Amino acid sequence: MRHFISMFDWTPAELAELIALARRFKSGRATAEVERLAGRILTMVFFNPSLRTRTSFEAAMLRYGGHAITLSVGGDTWQLEHRDGLVMDGPAAEHVREAVPVLCRYGDLLAVRTFAGLKDAAEDAADPVIRAFGRFATQPVINMESAFEHPCQGLADWLTVEEKCGGVRGKRFVVTWAPQVKGLPMAVPNSAVLSLAAAGAHVTLAHPPGYELGPRVLEQARAWCRAGGAAFAVTDDQQAACRGADAVYVKSWGRPALYGKPDAQRESFAQHRDWMVTPGHLGPKTILMHCLPVRRNVVIADAALDDPRCVVVDQAENRMWVQAAVLSTLVGDAAGAARS
């Protein structure tokens, strides 16, 4: 049985297989894999609100005869503890050691969304909540965005570049930081960089000094680019990076040194307002990407979002197709493991 918690646990070749399967789902040619989802129950546990993730996962199950059960931790249900050895006399009434195996008895797959704490970068990088789910689950666990990664978004990004740029290998993919109104996690840029590196694109990461991604992501992305014969670069020159890009992926994230200091974080954003992406950042054939939700005229200007080069809706649609591929693959893998 296998989880889809982290891209670090999958090889580029395996990720490419997921993309190929997603394309078959999208074009209606995934017969055997489609049948695997019929009658299956996906239990989705949300520690944070969601629009696209919730709807695209539920739609992926429903379209192929499966079902989805949605739980909001702290909303429909109580808070869950994941740390070991505590005297649980605080707000959390249940431990994942009980909750996770129980949920695995009712459904066939377990998907989890949990955001970064944004207090301690090292703790966020360890991704403790989703890792605890993985440790105690007896069914496949899918990452619907965790503190450190958003691998389903990363797959959707890969598929979108492949479709819109006529292939992905050797294409110039730029991930650029943009300002925000509050500190946000790095899960999305982490996964975008990893995914397109695994895909064989030339990857450039652009951000102001101080907004570095963690070393684990940078090393893995550099290694995958090198193995695929592609370049990997980091720069603080946004304009130069975007010039000539096949795809510009915009995303805001917080400055790790300012975690827990919202006022200082906002000041830092304010100093980089000119990183907001406009049509001027895009070449004539450059596609504009963003994972959504996007704050208009803060992160990206109206004129860029309303431009035909903007593919954010197609990118969001691809969430559904890559997730169908992931769900089907994990169910098939779990069934294979049960037989052997």
Residues that bind its own copies (CB under 8 A): 39, 41, 43, 46, 49-52, 54-56, 58-59, 62-63, 67, 69-72, 75-78, 81, 84-89, 93-95, 97-99, 101-103, 105-107, 181, 292-298, 302, 305-306, 312-313, 316-317, 320
Residue 217 CB, shortest distance to its own copies, in Å, is 25
**Distance between CA atoms of residues 119 and 116, nearest Å:** 8
CA distances from 88 to 80, 82, 116, 117, 155 (A): 10, 11, 22, 20, 38
Residue 18 CB, shortest distance to its own copies, in Å, is 19
Comparison of 76 and 284: residue with beta carbon closer to its own copies: 76
Residue 113 CB, shortest distance to its own copies, in Å, is 11
Dump the DSSP string for 142-167.
EESS-SS--HHHHHHHHHHHHHHTT-
Q: Who's near 320: CB < 8 A, 6+ residues apart?
A: 56, 59, 60
Comparison of 54 and 172: residue with beta carbon closer to its own copies: 54
> What number of residues does the chain have?
340
- DSSP H or E stretch at residue 69: strand 67-72
Comparison of 294 and 326: residue with beta carbon closer to its own copies: 294
CA distances from 304 to 81, 100, 277, 293, 327 (A): 43, 43, 7, 15, 34
Comparison of 107 and 183: residue with beta carbon closer to its own copies: 107
Comparison of 52 and 309: residue with beta carbon closer to its own copies: 52
Comparison of 37 and 316: residue with beta carbon closer to its own copies: 316
Residue 80 CB, shortest distance to its own copies, in Å, is 9
Question: Are 282 and 309 spatial neighbours (Cβ–Cβ below 8 Å)?
Answer: yes
Residue 244 CB, shortest distance to its own copies, in Å, is 27
Comparison of 205 and 311: residue with beta carbon closer to its own copies: 311
CA within 13 Å, CB half, 67: 7
Q: Who's near 83: CB < 8 A, 6+ residues apart?
A: 128
Residue 78 CB, shortest distance to its own copies, in Å, is 6
CA distances from 169 to 86, 239, 246 (A): 48, 23, 11
Residue 225 CB, shortest distance to its own copies, in Å, is 30
